[in-house]
């Protein structure tokens, strides 16, 4: 075959735009302005703006290194003790003990891999693909993962921009309107990007409708423990669906945020099924899919996580690490609000305090976001989602003052 464009096997390949958040990060890195601020990528930063290796992870690595770090293959389904402990952590010891025989688990390439694998096994078990309902707005990769697998993805209104709050009535309307058997993507906590979660009572209402209408809950659980600093609180919804409502569910776990294992890609898919036989069969399917896609998952991060989860002292230390991260983010959320008020920023900013988790959803127009980047070197997603973890004592007032300056100018211009 001739090596020229006209005869290339890949001649029809389109030029797909780069992922928006990763492109934004690259733009930030290239910016030489000394006081630039990165509020785009969702990764925890400490009070000096630097990555933080949690204390529990650092000690776990020491233990693993002391024991001797081998580089042998893991089983196809992943490290057995990690899978067991991850499922037990998500469900809680009592629920896990009662439901263990009905669980199928597989170590995955972080939360993205868990979502993909969940989509694959549902696809392999259905004669026709169910529709997938995804909140609007949501993490951008949800659409990409499921549409690539061939699913029809439909959005439902999750956020009301007029009130800057959860649009619960639209949520319930969707649940009561879609076809039975449809898949609904549920953010277990710390909704990305809005930071708005249903209350426990609202979760119960959502779950009741989903069970009655035979809708399948697929939990994206990327922030358990990281959101509030309390793992039990953050896991309420998935435990209620699986234990109280006895619903078949898929739980897609990630340890990127809550352990800071971003580059290690440590995740786990937990399927809560109806019977032990279904669980065994489902696990065999997961093993077959995993073999065909990645053969077996990476070992180091899984060993770090398993060591933490299997040692009572390290587990307590990890819970304290999550409180440390959660508390710092909460303090920055409050400080941002206080500075926005101090600088007489036009508008009401109470919604910042009503949100939770890593992200804040400012509600700024796209042109304002562009101006903040171009003039003030403040980088955030186009929809004005910011990573609260990117704020610190050295930049939070600068960010608030810049927002106030731009919005005040816009307000003055509109009154001329």
Residues catalogued as catalytic: 139, 220, 257
CB-count exposure of residue 136 (10 Å: 0-12, 13-18, 19+)? middle
Which of 286, 270, 296, 250 has the alpha carbon at shortest distance from 78?
296
Peptide bond into 137 cis (omega under 30): yes
Distances (CA, A) of 324 to 46, 52, 70, 227: 10, 11, 32, 11
- Which DSSP symbol is given to 73? P
Q: What is the spatial distance between Cα 309 and Cα 293, in angstroms, rounded to a whole number?
A: 27
Distance of CA 203 to the CA centre of its chain: 18
CB atoms within 10 A of CB 9: 7
Question: Could you tell me which residues come within 8 angstroms of residue 121 by beta carbon, excluding any fewer than 6 positions away?
Answer: 271, 282, 285, 286, 289
**String of b and e for 46-82 (b: at least 16 CB within 10 Å)?**
eeeeeebebebbebbbeebeeeeeeeeebebbbbeeb
Q: Are 95 and 247 in contact (CB under 8 A)?
A: no
- SS3 state at 138: coil
Q: What is the spatial distance between Cα 374 and Cα 224, in angstroms, rounded to a whole number?
A: 35
Instruction: Output the DSSP codes for 330-364.
Output: HHHHHHHHHHHHHTT-SS--HHHHH--SSEEE---
Question: Could you tell me which residues come within 8 angstroms of residue 40 by beta carbon, excluding any fewer than 6 positions away?
Answer: 21, 24, 25, 28, 379, 380, 381, 386, 387, 390
Most distant CA pair in the chain, distance: 71
Q: What is the spatial distance between Cα 115 and Cα 230, in angstroms, rounded to a whole number?
A: 24
CA end-to-end distance (rounded Å), the chain: 66
């Amino acid at each position: 075959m001739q090596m020229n464009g006209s005869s290339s096997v890949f001649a029809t390949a389109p030029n797909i735009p780069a992922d928006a958040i990763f492109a934004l990060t690259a733009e930030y890195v290239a910016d030489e302005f000394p006081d630039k601020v990165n509020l785009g990528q969702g990764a925890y930063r400490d009070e000096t703006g630097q990555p933080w290796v949690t204390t529990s992870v650092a000690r776990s690595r020491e233990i693993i290194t002391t024991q001797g770090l081998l580089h042998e293959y893991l089983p196809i389904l992943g490290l057995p003790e990690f899978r067991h402990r991850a499922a037990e952590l998500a469900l809680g010891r009592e629920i896990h003990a009662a439901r263990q025989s009905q669980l199928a688990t597989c170590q995955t390439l972080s939360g993205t891999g868990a979502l993909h694998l969940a989509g694959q096994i549902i696809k392999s078990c259905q004669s026709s693909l169910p529709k997938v309902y995804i909140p609007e707005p949501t993490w951008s990769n949800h659409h990409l993962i499921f549409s690539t697998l061939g699913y029809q993805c439909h959005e439902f209104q999750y956020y009301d921009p007029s009130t800057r709050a959860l649009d619960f009535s639209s949520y319930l309307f969707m649940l009561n309107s879609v076809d039975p058997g449809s898949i609904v993507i549920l953010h277990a906590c710390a909704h990305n990007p809005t930071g708005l979660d249903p209350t426990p009572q609202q979760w119960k209402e959502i779950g009741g409708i989903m069970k009655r209408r035979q809708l399948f809950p697929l939990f994206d659980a990327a922030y358990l423990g990281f959101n509030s600093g309390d793992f039990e609180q953050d896991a309420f919804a998935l435990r209620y669906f699986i234990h109280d409502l006895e619903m078949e569910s898929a739980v897609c776990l990630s340890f990127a945020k809550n352990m800071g294992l971003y580059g290690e890609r440590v995740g786990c898919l937990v399927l809560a099924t109806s019977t032990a036989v279904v669980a065994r069969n489902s696990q065999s399917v997961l093993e077959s899919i995993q073999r065909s896609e990645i053969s077996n998952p990476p070992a180091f991060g899984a060993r770090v996580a398993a060591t933490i989860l299997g040692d009572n002292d390290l587990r307590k230390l990890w819970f304290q690490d999550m409180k440390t991260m959660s508390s710092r983010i909460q303090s920055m959320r409050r400080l941002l609000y206080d500075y926005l008020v101090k600088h007489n920023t036009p508008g009401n900013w109470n919604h910042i305090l009503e949100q939770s988790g890593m992200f804040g959803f400012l509600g700024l127009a796209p042109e304002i976001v562009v101006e903040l980047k171009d003039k003030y070197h403040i980088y955030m997603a186009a929809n004005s989602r910011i990573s609260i973890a990117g704020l610190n004592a050295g930049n939070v007032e600068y960010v608030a003052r810049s927002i106030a300056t731009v919005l005040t100018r816009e307000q003055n211009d509109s009154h001329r």
